Amino acid sequence: MGNPLKQALAANEMQIGLWLNLGDASAAEIAGQAGYDWCLIDGEHGPYNPTAILGQLRALAAFNAEPVVRVPIGEDWVIKQVMDLGVRSLLIPMVDTPEQAAHLVRATRYAPDGHRGLGAAVARASGYGADTGYVARANDEVCLLVQAETRAALENLDAIAATEGVDAVFIGPADLSADMGHRGNPGHPEVRAAIADGVARIRAAGKAAGIIHYDTADFAYYRDLGITFLGTGADASLLRAAMQANVAAAREALDG
């Protein structure tokens, strides 16, 4: 069966998804119903602890959207906890060197390929021990995405992308633009040029490239650039925009 997100990215198939930042299982359930290829539980910037992540995973379990978890930091113990919850697709922020990337590959794999702690017998990942084949196939199902979001990461991008075991490199436009001196302006020409160059280098290494962008007018641009892991919005921002539009429409209708 395998990991459908990992397989699709390897086959160069576009995968669109949604950021989940509200920390609410009902929002995750609605997102799962919507038909996204993946939904990202944002443990870096959302109000998540392992219990909250577990609630989101259970809400998404009834749907085809692959749960991706962005951990707050690429520490072994954080990765271990999240993977034992049943997560097989991870996005790790602030990866600046190939050494970091290689360490993360090992942190997400059982020995002898890595050093992930072997506690699946009592974890949700194996159905609390009911899935006796989990340990044997777990390494093969890992989909590891690392974030390049600094000038240092771009300098090391060829080596990061070439790291065996990394499935995709995600360019973080917000932090990258800040590090380049254009904080709050990821659309600055220098940032866009750096992203375009970065995507080309990621693809040249044979890996999938990812980004998040909210403006539908640019989606085709990123597709043509070579992006296949495309975040198209976030639950928080979509809810805000829908509510603001609803209020504006109501006031227009009532004031007319």
Contacts of residue 212, defined as CB under 8 A and 6 or more positions apart, other chains included, come to: 19, 172, 173, 230, 231, 232, 234
The string of DSSP codes covering 98-111 is HHHHHHHHHHTS-T
Position 155 scores a pLDDT of: 98
* β-pairing verdict for 89-92 and 38-42: unpaired
Active-site residue identified among 45, 115, 182, 188: 45
Q: In this model, does residue 256 exceed pLDDT 90?
A: no
**Average of per-residue pLDDT across 140-149:** 98
Of 44, 42, 2, 49, the C-alpha closest to 22 is 42
Of 172, 253, 154, the C-alpha closest to 212 is 172
**Average of per-residue pLDDT across 101-121:** 97
Q: Is 103 a catalytic residue?
A: no
Where does the pLDDT of residue 17 fall: very low under 50, low under 70, confident under 90, or very high at 90 and above?
very high
Where does the pLDDT of residue 71 fall: very low under 50, low under 70, confident under 90, or very high at 90 and above?
very high
Position 145 scores a pLDDT of: 98
Average confidence score pLDDT of the chain: 97
Q: Domains for the chain: give ranges and CATH numbers.
A: 4-255 (3.20.20.60)
